[in-house]
């Protein structure tokens, strides 16, 4: 019986000794690795000890293997270190691999392309904003030609407005391409020339023959009409479901931009014309054929932003030269 008891005790001891031995070896390994990290050469801490030949022998392979970083640890850092300077670029930077990083290119809808409805309107207007801070007249008038073509199918109210705009565009084009074309390359050049030549009207005094208006006065009238078009496009694009329809919004734009400069009879005719104004769907369908409503509204809003940029530059140039009161 004593032998049996001894055998059972030995087996129980052996069964517990194996885990204890494994744990002891693991602790010994961790202590050795920690000791290696703490006992760096004194030169790393500012010392000047020269290493001996024995110091140059490579440490055991088990002590030099780099552990895999645990999840969440910055690449290049040791997971047991209290502080870390990554062995590479900071995490907020990206290492360049095959060229500069580029954001995905925004794909414009067809209506804003060179052959699109809005593209044909916006391209010359954008080109009219020259780098010198002036407005190129030939491009400005080309933009107006395209804008007239876009607005004409929208109904009688635009037929009235676009007919008047077309007449003014034609009058200015005769100067831009006429004998004095050198003086009509831009708004600033035109204003300076007409002032020197005594061609400007007195503020508030309309010429007896509208066909003989100065180029500056004709451009001022187009400038006001451009503001109405810009406001109309913007309000149609930004309208919320259940809000005022396009006729109400463009009527408000007319009262803001043009009505103060029109006689009572013209204002009443315009008020009646807005009652038959096309709906928002018609606007969006003509502006961006085949596009969804969201895409068409965004394209119309960008077109309105382009017209606003042209209007603001023209407004500033006319104001600087005291030409806003010509008509």
pLDDT confidence of residue 169: 94
In a domain, 305, yes or no: yes
DSSP assignment of 253-283 equals HHHHHTGGGS-HHHHHHHHHHGGGPPPHHHH
Q: Which residues pair with 135 in a beta bridge?
A: 129
Q: How many helices (H) and strands (E) does the chain have?
A: 11, 0
In a domain, 6, yes or no: no
| pTM greater than the 0.85 cutoff | no
**Using an 8 Å Cβ cutoff, are 102 and 137 in contact?**
no
Rounded CA separation 164/266 (Å): 13
**Domains of the chain: total:** 1
Which residue range is the domain that position 228 belongs to? Answer: 117-321
pLDDT confidence of residue 308: 97
pLDDT confidence of residue 203: 80
Find, among 126, 133, 124, 123, the residue nearest to 186 by Cα: 133
pLDDT confidence of residue 154: 75
Rounded CA separation 231/257 (Å): 8
Rounded CA separation 297/294 (Å): 5
**Using an 8 Å Cβ cutoff, are 215 and 177 in contact?**
no
236 burial (CB, 10 Å; 0-12 / 13-18 / 19+) is: buried
19: its two tokens: 């885990």
pLDDT confidence of residue 107: 63
In a domain, 269, yes or no: yes
In a domain, 241, yes or no: yes
96: its two tokens: 């360049």
Per run of 10 residues, the mean pLDDT along the chain (length 327 residues) is: 46 49 48 44 39 43 42 39 40 36 55 90 96 97 94 70 84 95 97 95 78 90 93 90 81 89 87 80 88 91 96 97 92
In a domain, 197, yes or no: yes
In a domain, 42, yes or no: no
Rounded CA separation 280/265 (Å): 27
CATH code, 249: 1.10.3520.10
Rounded CA separation 38/236 (Å): 72
Cα-based torsion angle of the residue sequence 279, 143, 156, 237 in order, rounded to the nearest 10 degrees = 10
Segment (H or E) for 296: helix 293-320
pLDDT confidence of residue 185: 97
In a domain, 222, yes or no: yes
pLDDT confidence of residue 267: 87
**Using an 8 Å Cβ cutoff, are 324 and 318 in contact?**
yes
In a domain, 51, yes or no: no
């Amino acid at each position: 019986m004593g032998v049996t008891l001894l055998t059972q005790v030995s087996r129980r001891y052996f069964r517990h000794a194996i885990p204890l031995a494994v744990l002891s070896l693991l602790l010994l390994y961790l202590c050795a690795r920690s000791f290696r990290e703490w006992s760096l050469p004194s030169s790393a801490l500012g010392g000047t000890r020269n290493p001996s030949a024995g110091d140059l022998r490579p440490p055991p392979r088990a002590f030099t293997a780099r552990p895999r970083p645990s999840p969440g640890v910055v690449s290049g850092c040791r997971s047991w270190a209290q502080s870390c300077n990554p062995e590479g670029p900071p995490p907020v930077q990206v290492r360049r691999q095959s060229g500069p990083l580029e954001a995905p290119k925004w794909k414009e809808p067809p209506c804003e392309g060179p052959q699109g409805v809005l593209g044909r309107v916006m391209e010359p207007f954008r080109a009219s904003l020259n780098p010198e801070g002036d407005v190129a007249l030939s491009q400005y008038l080309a933009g107006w030609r395209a804008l007239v073509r876009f607005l004409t199918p929208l109904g009688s109210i635009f037929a009235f407005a676009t007919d008047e705009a077309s007449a003014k565009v034609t009058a200015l084009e005769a100067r831009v391409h006429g004998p004095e074309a050198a003086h009509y390359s831009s708004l600033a050049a035109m204003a300076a020339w007409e002032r020197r030549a005594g061609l400007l009207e007195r503020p508030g005094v309309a010429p007896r023959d509208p066909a003989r208006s100065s180029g500056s006065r004709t451009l001022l009238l187009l400038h006001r009409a451009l503001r109405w078009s810009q406001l109309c496009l913007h309000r149609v694009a930004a309208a919320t479901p259940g809000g005022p329809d396009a006729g109400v919004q463009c009527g408000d734009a007319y009262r803001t931009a043009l009505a103060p400069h029109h006689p009572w009879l013209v204002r009443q005719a315009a008020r009646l014309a807005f009652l038959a104004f096309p709906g928002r769907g018609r606007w969006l369908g003509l502006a961006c054929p085949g596009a969804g409503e969201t895409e068409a509204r965004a394209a119309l809003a960008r077109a309105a932003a382009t017209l606003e940029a042209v209007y603001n530059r023209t407004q500033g140039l006319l104001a600087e030269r005291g030409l806003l009161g010509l008509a």
